[in-house]
């Protein structure tokens, strides 16, 4: 009875504990909204209320547990006293004939040995109930079956062409009304189809079905003639790249986020993908380049920067089917135009589905599908839809200030915009180290020549991977920080060119190297004072937070002090033993 009752109470403790964690997980990511609406006290009260419920549930469990032990002890003591009383009476009244003193003592000893494991088992019961309650919650998740699972005879895609066919599909969330109704059309291999429509028309639901986040209620979606339900989920998603409306970056470096879809991609491939997404300016503005930490959910970057990096991630994956869900929703007009031109080259030989509210984003689409209330209302080229003068034409008129007259003038405007956007993209040049000559010019600038021909008169170098690969992928930029060329490997240059490059990079990436740590002490709970000897002399500085001591590669540390200055520990295992002891004592390593 005790076990069942304490089990129920522990279930309640864990359930309320989950609610407490849910309040924290809900409030912290939205801290800016909380601050903006002055809801700090409300969130504190909400947390305190849940925490009070958790405290009461825990106290109830403790009360029951602590009541059980005294009751069990009282029962044990009562039984021992009963044996003493009854046995002692027998010894005294029978003068040792019915029960001797030795037999009584032996019986009490046996009883004590019996009670000891009983008490231990009873004590373990409480711990077992805690463990079993936790295990139930874990197995509840482990035993959950995914809604989308592979069939036994699931097909693995091999070099798909990218033809997508929607064959009379219907879809509804649960028992609600259908979100998509009798949707039928085909997207040909390599074709870019734009999907537009009012909010709630089913555009995002459509791409969720293509990725098999949900299964269609009726009908079928086919890839190269194969029903998606017959395709292995892993194989399908390997061939589909998605840029979501709300860009999401994981905690880590820019490089790790771009390579998320292809961890084996080379650094040069990541550079080209970033260039195609017009995101190289992000790399050049950050002192750590691709090694820059983006923070939780990319909080250290702006919305437009996160969007461009998510586009670079999709480009690097090089999928056969590309889905753009409002890919330019978080960027300004100039960046949108750049990304639109980059997407034009990206979609070559690739089936692309682009959802957009900004209709200008779809000027290069082969066809436009117009959805309304889950139904396919219009389908055709931009010119055909403008001539149709339906829903698409009305939206286009509202968005395009040049579209003031119906018919021919609108079509002409569209063609004019296309011609303007067809300007060739200037890609940064790849220099061959063996044939490249670099010479210092005006101290921090370089002239770049290849095969005795001067390519650039005045460029400044920057490292793409200053922390993890400082000699790989050196970018060369003009006075406006526009990248013009890159060098895949600096160490392959001739001696004179390498020396010139190294002198220019020294002033940009000057970081003292710590040779010895003389003292390391806490100033506050989060702040530590460092007394060190560097290759540039002794230094004393404050480090504000633990994350300002960053582990780059095994045994290498990079410190950032309260003034933003940096200090490098190439290998803390090479420091003097007392310095290593200080790091270990302060739990830095």
Per-residue pLDDT of the chain (589 residues; tens, 9 = 90+): 666 777 788 778 888 888 888 888 888 878 888 888 888 899 899 999 988 988 888 888 878 777 776 777 778 788 888 888 888 888 778 776 777 888 878 888 887 777 777 777 766 666 777 777 778 778 878 887 878 888 888 888 888 888 999 999 999 988 888 899 999 999 999 888 999 988 888 888 898 899 899 999 999 999 988 999 999 998 998 889 888 878 889 988 999 999 998 999 999 999 999 988 888 989 999 888 999 989 888 888 888 888 889 888 988 888 889 888 877 665 667 767 766 766 776 677 789 898 887 777 787 788 999 998 888 998 999 888 888 888 888 888 887 754 444 444 444 445 444 444 445 556 889 999 999 999 988 777 899 998 888 899 899 999 999 988 889 999 999 988 889 999 999 999 999 999 999 888 887 888 889 999 999 988 888 889 999 999 888 999 999 888 888 887 788 888 888 888 889 898 898 999 999 999 888 888 7
| Tokens standing for residue 174 | 């649960």
The CA-CA-CA angle for residues 252, 254, 259, to 5°, reads 95
CATH of domain 151-239+322-327+350-420: 3.40.50.300
Q: Residue ranges per domain, the chain?
A: 2-142, 151-239+322-327+350-420, 429-508, 514-585
| Tokens standing for residue 428 | 């940064």
Q: From 538, 139, 180, select the one nearest 376 (Cα to Cα).
A: 180
Q: What topology does CATH give the domain 2-142?
A: ABC transporter transmembrane region fold (1.20.1560)
What Cα–Cα distance (Å) separates residue 245 from each residue in 125, 238, 248, 301, 326?
51, 20, 9, 16, 5
Cα–Cα distance for residue pair 272/268, rounded to 1 Å: 6
Q: From 404, 325, 388, 387, select the one nearest 358 (Cα to Cα).
A: 325
């Amino acid at each position: 009875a005790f076990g069942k009752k304490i089990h129920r109470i522990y279930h309640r403790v864990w359930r309320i504990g989950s609610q407490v964690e849910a309040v924290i997980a809900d409030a912290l990511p939205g801290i800016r909204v909380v601050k903006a609406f002055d809801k700090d006290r409300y969130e504190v009260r909400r947390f305190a209320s849940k925490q009070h419920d958790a405290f009461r549930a825990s106290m109830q469990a403790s009360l029951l547990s602590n009541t059980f032990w005294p009751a069990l002890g009282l029962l044990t003591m009562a039984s021992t006293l009963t044996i003493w009383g009854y046995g002692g009476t027998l010894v005294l009244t029978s003068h040792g004939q019915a029960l001797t003193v030795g037999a009584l003592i032996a019986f009490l000893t046996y009883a004590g040995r019996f009670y000891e494991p009983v008490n231990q088992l009873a004590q373990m019961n409480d711990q077992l109930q805690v463990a079993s309650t936790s295990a139930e919650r874990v197995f509840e998740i482990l035993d959950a079956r995914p809604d989308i699972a592979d069939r036994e005879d699931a097909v693995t895609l091999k070099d798909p062409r990218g033809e997508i066919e929607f064959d009379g599909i219907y879809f509804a969330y649960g028992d609600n009304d259908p979100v998509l109704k009798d949707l039928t059309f085909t997207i040909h291999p390599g074709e870019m189809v734009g999907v537009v429509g009012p909010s709630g028309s089913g555009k995002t639901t459509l791409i969720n079905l293509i990725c098999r986040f949900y299964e269609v209620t009726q009908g079928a979606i086919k890839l190269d003639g194969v029903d998606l339900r017959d395709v292995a989920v892993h194989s399908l998603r390997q061939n589909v790249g998605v840029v979501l409306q709300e860009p999401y970056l994981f905690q880590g470096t820019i490089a790790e986020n771009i390579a998320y879809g292809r961890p084996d991609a080379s650094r040069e491939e990541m550079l080209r993908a970033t260039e195609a997404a017009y995101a190289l300016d992000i790399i050049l503005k950050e002192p750590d380049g691709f090694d820059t930490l983006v923070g939780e959910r990319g909080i250290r970057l702006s919305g437009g920067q996160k969007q461009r990096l998510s586009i670079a991630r999709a480009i690097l994956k090089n999928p056969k089917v590309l889905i753009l869900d409002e890919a330019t929703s978080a960027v300004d007009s100039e960046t949108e135009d750049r990304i639109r031109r980059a997407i034009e080259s990206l979609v070559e030989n690739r089936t692309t589905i682009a959802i957009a509210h900004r209709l200008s984003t779809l000027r290069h689409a082969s066809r436009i599908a117009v959805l309304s209330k889950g139904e396919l209302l219009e389908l055709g080229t931009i010119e055909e839809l403008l001539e149709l003068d339906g829903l698409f034409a009305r939206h286009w008129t509202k968005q395009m200030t040049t579209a003031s007259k119906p018919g021919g003038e609108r079509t002409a405007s569209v063609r004019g915009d296309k011609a303007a956007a067809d300007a060739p993209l200037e890609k940064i040049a790849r220099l061959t180290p063996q044939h490249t000559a670099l010479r210092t010019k005006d101290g921090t600038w370089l002239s770049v020549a290849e095969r005795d021909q001067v390519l650039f008169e005045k460029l400044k170098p920057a490292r793409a991977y200053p922390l993890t690969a400082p000699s790989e992928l050196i970018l060369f930029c003009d006075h406006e920080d526009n990248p013009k060329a890159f060098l895949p490997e600096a160490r392959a240059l001739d001696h004179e060119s390498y020396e010139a490059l190294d002198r220019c990079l020294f002033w940009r990436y000057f970081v003292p190297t710590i040779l010895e740590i003389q003292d390391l002490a806490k100033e506050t709970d989060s702040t530590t004072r460092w007394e060190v000897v560097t290759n540039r002399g002794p230094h004393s500085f404050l480090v504000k937070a633990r994350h300002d001591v960053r582990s780059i590669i095994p045994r290498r540390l990079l410190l950032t002090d309260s003034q933003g200055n940096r200090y490098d520990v190439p290998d803390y295992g090479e420091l003097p033993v007392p310095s290593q002891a200080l790091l270990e004592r302060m739990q830095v390593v």
